[in-house]
Each structure stands twice: as structure tokens, then as C-alpha cells.
């Protein structure tokens, strides 16, 4: 009995890195904010340079015809959205609108009970850290689990989450959808001229 008591006391005396770890807290907060659908707060956790790059990558939408652009803006920013109102959004607000459409896709696929577990991190100097995260969720066909690495950078004394390379694929899908729209529009126009 004495040995068990001493062992428990020794364990309790150990420092708790899980409580002290800022990036662990941020990782858990990120997924909680997603769960609460607080997309503006999620966007503010990202690297401002990435948010600016996202905004620039979606610049093609400003030149798209209303028929293509406005339904997308409506899903992202609400029924009030116009090109003028979208132009006034901050980069974080614009990204939050993008997250709204992404979350709708997840909801339609019946994914639920999403959870994140911080597994550890590797620091790369004092301004870059790579965090290993296990995400899991329930969906059609059972439970899914994935381990990924998120990169954080320190900007102006605050840790910010970097977007991963998968996001580039997402932007390319939007651009491909617009290219298909342009092709259909060209075929309609050619058919009308015949």
C-alpha cells in the first residue's frame, strides 16, 4: 500500500505539459471553434499571410459573371453578398466565409462527433512548430481517424496556424468548376448563334 501511495504522489508531482502547452490548447480550441461554427475566430487563428494568399487565389471570382459568382457568394457570405460587400471584407472574414461552405459539405456528408487529440510537437527553432494531431469522427460506414501534422508560425509574438497543401487543391477545384462553367457558357453561346 505504501508503494502505491508513493508512486501516485510521485506521478502527481510531475509537471503537466498538457496544461502548459500553448499549441496543444490552440489545437483543441481550433476544433472546438469549428464545432461551435465560430468561423471568424477560426480564421483569426490562421497565418495572416495565408489568409491574404487565399483572398488573392479567389480573385478570379470578382471577374466571374453574376450567374456563377453570386450563388457562391450567397453560400459563403449570406444572401446580402455582392461584389462590393465582399470587397470590404477583411482577409479573415473572407476566409471565414469559405469555411462556412466547407462546413456545409461536411454536414451534408453526415460526419459528426469530430474530435481532435494533440499527440505532440516538434519545434523548429523558436518561431515554427509542427503539431501532430489525431482527428476522428463518425460518419456513414463507421468511425474514421487520421493523423496529420499542422504547422504553426509565430507572427508578431502570436502562434498562427498555417494552411496545409490540401488547401491548394481546394482552390484548384473552385477554379476547375469555374472553367467548366465557362465551357458550358461558350457552348450555349455557340448553340444560340447557329
pLDDT of residue 98: 86
Is 156 inside any structural domain? yes
Rounded to 10°, the helix 91-108/48-57 angle is 70
Quote the percentage of the chain above a pLDDT of 90: 46
Query: Would you tell me how many other CB atoms lie within 10 Å of the CB of residue 89?
Result: 16
Look at the chain and report how many structural domains it folds into: 1
Q: Which three cell numbers stand for residue 106?
A: 461536411
188 belongs to a structural domain: no
Beta strand 158-161 with 128-139 is: unpaired
- 68/114: higher pLDDT: 68
Model pLDDT for residues 110-165, shown as the tens digit of each residue:
777 778 899 999 999 889 999 999 988 887 888 889 999 999 999 999 999 999 87
SS3 call for 111: coil
Q: Are 119 and 95 in contact (CB under 8 A)?
A: no
Q: Is 15 contained in some domain?
A: no
With respect to residue 88, please indicate whether it lies within any of the assigned structural domains: yes
Q: What domain range is 112 assigned to?
A: 22-177
What backbone phi and psi angles, to 5 degrees, belong to 47? -65, 125
Residue 11 lies in a domain: no
The interaxial angle of helices 66-77 and 91-108, nearest 10 deg, is 90
Q: Are 130 and 121 in contact (CB under 8 A)?
A: yes
**pLDDT(5) > 60:** no
For residue 4, being part of any structural domain is answered with: no
**DSSP character for 37?**
T
pLDDT value of position 108: 63
8 within some domain: no
Q: What angle do CA 84, 180, 183 make, to 5 degrees?
A: 100
| CATH number assigned to the domain comprising residue 52 | 3.10.450
pTM value?
A: 0.78
Q: Which of 58, 18, 89, 76 is nearest to 175 (CA)?
A: 58
Provide the grid cell at 55.
483572398
Residue 51 · residue 58 · CB < 8 Å: no
Domain assignment present for 186: no
pLDDT in tens, 160-192: 999 987 888 888 988 999 999 999 988 988 888
Amino acid at each position: 500500500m505504501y508503494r502505491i501511495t508513493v508512486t501516485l504522489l510521485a506521478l502527481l508531482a510531475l509537471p503537466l505539459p498538457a496544461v502548459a502547452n500553448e499549441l496543444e490548447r490552440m489545437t483543441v480550441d481550433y476544433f472546438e471553434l469549428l464545432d461551435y461554427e465560430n468561423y471568424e475566430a477560426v480564421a483569426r487563428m490562421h497565418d495572416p499571410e495565408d489568409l491574404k494568399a487565399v483572398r488573392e487565389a479567389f480573385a478570379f471570382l470578382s471577374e466571374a459573371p453574376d450567374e456563377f459568382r453570386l450563388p457562391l457568394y450567397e453560400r459563403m457570405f449570406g444572401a446580402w453578398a455582392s461584389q462590393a460587400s465582399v470587397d470590404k471584407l477583411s482577409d479573415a472574414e473572407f476566409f471565414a466565409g469559405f469555411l462556412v461552405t466547407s462546413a456545409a459539405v461536411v454536414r451534408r456528408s453526415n460526419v459528426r462527433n469530430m474530435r481532435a487529440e494533440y499527440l505532440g510537437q516538434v519545434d523548429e527553432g523558436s518561431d515554427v512548430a509542427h503539431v501532430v494531431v489525431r482527428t476522428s469522427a463518425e460518419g456513414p460506414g463507421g468511425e474514421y481517424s487520421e493523423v496529420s501534422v499542422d504547422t504553426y508560425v509565430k507572427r508578431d509574438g502570436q502562434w498562427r496556424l498555417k494552411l496545409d497543401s490540401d488547401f491548394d487543391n481546394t482552390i484548384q477545384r473552385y477554379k476547375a468548376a469555374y472553367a467548366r462553367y465557362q465551357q458550358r457558357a461558350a457552348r450555349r453561346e455557340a448553340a444560340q448563334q447557329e
